[in-house]
Structures are given as structure tokens and as C-alpha cells.
């Protein structure tokens, strides 16, 4: 039943935040407020919001930080629930872009900048102190401390405004937001009743350096493939493995068992932008090593690679110079992490990384930062004890966060928590074939329709999801189902574009 507020927006008082000091609180009523569409984060505008818009500024003893927390409280029709929202890249929050849709659905909502600002593309403004050392206070805020603070602030202001605590509290985030959700589950297990962690950037200290691997391989091969060539390899893998599931739909359902070898395509002539190009051994080697993932000098895997059929144009990215030559163009997350946190030099040239340097950087990152930003602790016993529910999902064609790392995490939790059934009591993983990072980018697969709603039903009704309905957004609106790991959506006959033609097996 929708609820209304008990006090005026202007009468909210500063919340008590353990470990922090609140510097200021400002609250304003906004009627008919709108948030404009801002792709890729917000695809359509959110309009006619009536909210109490609260901004809280806080700091921590001994840290020269100033963290901004924004809380939006519906002036009408609060649904009794609270939802914290996550960020992306190097931003811990999106403010209006996530608060708008959340409040529209009746939730009180919170977002934070973690004191590091809202620039998702670079940590340049906060990563280093003036003496060139790493700003560990800022990194701790970005990694986990701000998740605790924003939840405390948001829940306390919700209680003040409506005169009652939220009946249920949720976390909702993808990528960095997914990692933040896992930080809550591991470090602050009593903060949330339910956590939705999409494509979570756990294993950060390892996977972010692993994202640099394709660029290193290109530099060593002195070969920089065009986008057209890269698409050829993704398409070739799909062509070879598409029908393994009995349906020809351009989607590899089980990429782990797709044995496509890029070297098979050497010598093949393809057409790119009106020119005929012959696939070389060097180009095929780059793709093969990208799918394998980085190796140590003895050929042992350091981390996972991309799945066969996944798009390659973010990590194997190149740029064309004015003179027509192509060079490597690293993805911003790995490029900035190496420059600021490993080399501690904004001018460090990542093109100079060879296989030996890569190995050094990989282990440096893990050794120095895993304990701060790793977020891959498999011990979720306290979260389970507090009754929390965790729904994690990821696209199997994610080209930024390697799905193998996510699957490895789930398997490690199972081993620690006493097996599949016991783990399924509180943690379910859903893998979406053909879906790119957070359902953006080059997504050809079926996107889960509403994993957050599935989480709410699980928390509030005890309805544990075995599958989530999904839709292919290519104009056909073909239906699929995404199954709880380790089950896979299996075609049982009938119209391949209808969800009823699939079962979890």
C-alpha cells in the first residue's frame, strides 16, 4: 500500500553515519521534475517526478575526502522499500540517471559519488596524491566504504521522512555497480535484503590488467586488425557453433564447448570496406590469444579470455592515424588503471608493455590492490545468515568482464558453502548467451526482462527464480528464457521464437 511522508522535506536532520562526520545536509522539494535521457545509462527520459531531493556531504577522520550522497524520497506513493544504486567504470554512482527510474517505481533511492566525482572514464582527478603516491583513502571510498555510508544515509533519511524504516532494502547495479553490490554482501552483509549484481567487476585487480592482454599481443605481433576483420572472427565462431543447441539464431548458447580455432581462418580472403583482405597468421594469433586469455611464461593461464563469438572491438581495439596506419587503442579502464595505480604516472605509455612487463603488472596489481578492491571473497556465510538473497547475472558475450571469472566465483562459493543446493538457497547466477556487457554494446542475445523484479519476488515472496524471461531486442521480440546456473535453456521443439519452446536442463 503506497505511503506518504510524515514530516516536511526541510525538517530532515543530519543522519548518524558510523565512522564518518556529516558536514552538511540540504533538502529541496521538487515537483514535476524530469531526468533527460542520457544514453547509454538512461535510454528514455523520466518525467513528472515529485521528490524530496536530499544532498548529504560527509567526510572520514584522517582522510582528506568529501563524499556526496544523494537521496531521493517520493513525496507521494512510497512503496515502503529502499533501493541503493551503483555506478560504472571509475564512477561509484550516476546520481539522477539511476535515481530517476528508481523513484519512478516508488522506491526511496540513494546514489553516491564516493568522494571521487562522476567521471566514469578516468580516476585522474583522485587516484594520486600531490607527491605522486596512491590516494588510498579515495580508493577505499571507491572500492567499498561509500557503499556502507550511502546505505546508512539513505535508510536513515527514509525512516525520518516516512516515520518508519523501509520494509525491504535492495542493491541494484551492473559492472562497477555489480562489484559494489558484492562489496556489500562480503563486507556489510546486513545492509541489504536483496542484491542484484549484474556483470560484477569482481576480481578487479586481476581482470582489469587482463583486459590489457590483447593490446600487448598486438604490440608483440606488430599487427593491428581492423574492426571488420575482428567482426569476421566473431561471425566465424558463431557460424561454427550456432546450431549446437538445435536452433539457428546467431547465438552460441554454450560458448565453453565451442571449439572454434581462429587459426583455421588463416589464408581466407574477406571483403572489408570495399577491399579484399587476406586473414594472416598474426591476426588469427591475436584473436586466438584473446580467447585464451593471458598466459604466464610456462603457458599456464593467468586469467580468463573472451568467449568465442563475443565482439572483440573493445579490447582488441585499434585506431587509424592521419597517415593511414593503425595502432592499438586500449580500453580506458585497463589503460587508466595501469597508468595511475601501477605505473603511478599519467604519461606512462601502455604501448611499451611486452609479455614480461605484462606479467609484472599483473602480479603487482593483484599483490597491492586485491585486498582493497578484489571483491571476490567466496565466503558469503554471513550474508546468508542475515537472510540476504543475491541474484547475479551476466552476458556470455560480455567483452569487458570475462564471464569465466564470474563462473569461477560461483563455483568457489559452492565449494565453500556446501554445494549447489545450499548455495542456491541464497545465491543464483544467470548467464545470458549472446549478451554483451550489461546488455549494451553488440548484444545479439536475449536480454533478461526484469532480473530486479525476480529478486524482489524472491526476497518478499520466497519465490526462488529458476529462470528469467528474456527478449531479443532486434525487432522480432523473440522470446527466450535464461536459466539459473548451471542449467542451460534447452530447445524442446516448436516455435524457436517462443519461450515455451525451451526448458531449463
Q: Which of the residues 193, 335, 437, 484 is marked catalytic?
A: 437
Torsional class of 324: left (φ above 0), alpha (ψ -120 to 50), beta (otherwise): left
Q: Which of the residues 175, 234, 397, 484 is marked catalytic?
A: 175
How far, rounded to the nearest angstrom, does the alpha carbon of residue 155 sit from its chain's CA centroid?
A: 24
What is the number of alpha carbons within 13 Å of residue 375 lying toward its C-beta? 30
**HEC sequence for 74-97:** ECCCECCEEEEECCECCECCCCHH
Is 384 considered catalytic here?
A: no
Q: Which residue, among 401, 380, 332, 386, has the nearest Cα to 119 in the 3D structure?
A: 332
**Cα first-last separation, the chain:** 38
Say how far apart CA 484 and CA 504 lie, in whole Å.
Answer: 8
For 395, residues 6+ apart whose C-beta sits below 8 A from its C-beta are 199, 403, 431, 432, 433, 434, 435, 436, 437, 438, 439, 443, 445
Q: Which residue, among 24, 141, 158, has the nearest Cα to 92 in the 3D structure?
A: 141
Centre a 10 Å sphere on the Cβ of residue 293 and count the other Cβ atoms it contains.
19
CA angle 375-376-377, nearest 5°? 100
What is the number of alpha carbons within 13 Å of residue 220 lying toward its C-beta? 15
Judged on CB neighbours under 10 Å (0-12, 13-18, 19+), 133 is: exposed
Is 398 considered catalytic here?
A: yes
Assess contact for 238 and 251: CB atoms under 8 A: yes
Query: Cell 566525482 identifies what position?
Result: 117
Say how far apart CA 454 and CA 272 lie, in whole Å.
Answer: 43
Which residues on adjacent β-strands are paired with residue 468? 482
Is 175 considered catalytic here?
A: yes
Q: What is the DSSP letter of 270?
A: E
Q: What is the DSSP letter of 317?
A: -
Assess contact for 263 and 289: CB atoms under 8 A: no
Q: Which of the residues 53, 96, 149, 398 is marked catalytic?
A: 398
CA angle 150-146-388, nearest 5°? 65
**Strands 67-74, 46-59: parallel, antiparallel or unpaired by DSSP?**
antiparallel
Cell numbers at residue 323, please? 597517415
Q: Which residue, among 355, 217, 215, has the nearest Cα to 297 in the 3D structure?
A: 355
Q: Is 275 helix (H, G, I), strand (E, B) or coil?
A: strand
Active site residues per annotation: 175, 398, 437
Amino acid at each position: 500500500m503506497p505511503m506518504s511522508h510524515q514530516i516536511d522535506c526541510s525538517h530532515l536532520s543530519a543522519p548518524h553515519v558510523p565512522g564518518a562526520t556529516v558536514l552538511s545536509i540540504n533538502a529541496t522539494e521538487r515537483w514535476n521534475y524530469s531526468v533527460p535521457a542520457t544514453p547509454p545509462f538512461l535510454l528514455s527520459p523520466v518525467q513528472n517526478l515529485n521528490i524530496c531531493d536530499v544532498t548529504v556531504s560527509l567526510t572520514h577522520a584522517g582522510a582528506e575526502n568529501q563524499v556526496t550522497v544523494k537521496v531521493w524520497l517520493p513525496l507521494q506513493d512510497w512503496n515502503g522499500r529502499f533501493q541503493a544504486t551503483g555506478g560504472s567504470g571509475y564512477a561509484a554512482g550516476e546520481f539522477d540517471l539511476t535515481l530517476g527510474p528508481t523513484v519512478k517505481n516508488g522506491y526511496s533511492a540513494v546514489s553516491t559519488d564516493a568522494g571521487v566525482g562522476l567521471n566514469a572514464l578516468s580516476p585522474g582527478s583522485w587516484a594520486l596524491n600531490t607527491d605522486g603516491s596512491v590516494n588510498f583513502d579515495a580508493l577505499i571510498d571507491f572500492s567499498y566504504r561509500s557503499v556502507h555510508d550511502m546505505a546508512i544515509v539513505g535508510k536513515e533519511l527514509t525512516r525520518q521522512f516516512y516515520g518508519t524504516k523501509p520494509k525491504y532494502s535492495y542493491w541494484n547495479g551492473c559492472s562497477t555497480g555489480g562489484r559494489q553490490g558484492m562489496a556489500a554482501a562480503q563486507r556489510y552483509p546486513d545492509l541489504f535484503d536483496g542484491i542484484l549484481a549484474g556483470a560484477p567487476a569482481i576480481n578487479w585487480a586481476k581482470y582489469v590488467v587482463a583486459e590489457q592482454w590483447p593490446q600487448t599481443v598486438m604490440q608483440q605481433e606488430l599487427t593491428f586488425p581492423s574492426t571488420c576483420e575482428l567482426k569476421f572472427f566473431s561471425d566465424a565462431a558463431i557460424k561454427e557453433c550456432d546450431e549446437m543447441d538445435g536452433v539457428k539464431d546467431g547465438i552460441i548458447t554454450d560458448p565453453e564447448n565451442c571449439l572454434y580455432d581462429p587459426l583455421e581462418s588463416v589464408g581466407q580472403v574477406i571483403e572489408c570496406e570495399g577491399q579484399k583482405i587476406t586473414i594472416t597468421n598474426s591476426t588469427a594469433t591475436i584473436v586466438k590469444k584473446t580467447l585464451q586469455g593471458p598466459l604466464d611464461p610456462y603457458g599456464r593461464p593467468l586469467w580468463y579470455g573472451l568467449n568465442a563469438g563475443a565482439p572483440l572491438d573493445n579490447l582488441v581495439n585499434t585506431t587509424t592515424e592521419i597517415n593511414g596506419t593503425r595502432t592499438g587503442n586500449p580500453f580506458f579502464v585497463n589503460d587508466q588503471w595501469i597508468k595511475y595505480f601501477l605505473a603511478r604516472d599519467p604519461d606512462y605509455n601502455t604501448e611499451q608493455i611486452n609479455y614480461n612487463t605484462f606479467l609484472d603488472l599483473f602480479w603487482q596489481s593483484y599483490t597491492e590492490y586485491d585486498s582493497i578492491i578484489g571483491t571476490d571473497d567466496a565466503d558469503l556465510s554471513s550474508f546468508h545468515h542475515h537472510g540476504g538473497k543475491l541474484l547475479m547475472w551476466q552476458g556470455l558475450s560480455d567483452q569487458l568482464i570475462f564471464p569465466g571469472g564470474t563462473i569461477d566465483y560461483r563455483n568457489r562459493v559452492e565449494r565453500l558453502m556446501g554445494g549447489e543446493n545450499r548455495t542456491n538457497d541464497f545465491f543464483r547466477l544467470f548467464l545470458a548467451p549472446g549478451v554483451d556487457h550489461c546488455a549494451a554494446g553488440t548484444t545479439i542475445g536475449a536480454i533478461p526482462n526484469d532480473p530486479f523484479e525476480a529478486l524482489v519476488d524472491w526476497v518478499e515472496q520466497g519465490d526462488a527464480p529458476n529462470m528469467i524471461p528474456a527478449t531479443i531486442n532486434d525487432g522480432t521480440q523473440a522470446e527466450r528464457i535464461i536459466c539459473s546456473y548451471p542449467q542451460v535453456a534447452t530447445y524442446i521443439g516448436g516455435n524457436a521464437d517462443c519461450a515455451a519452446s525451451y526448458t531449463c536442463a
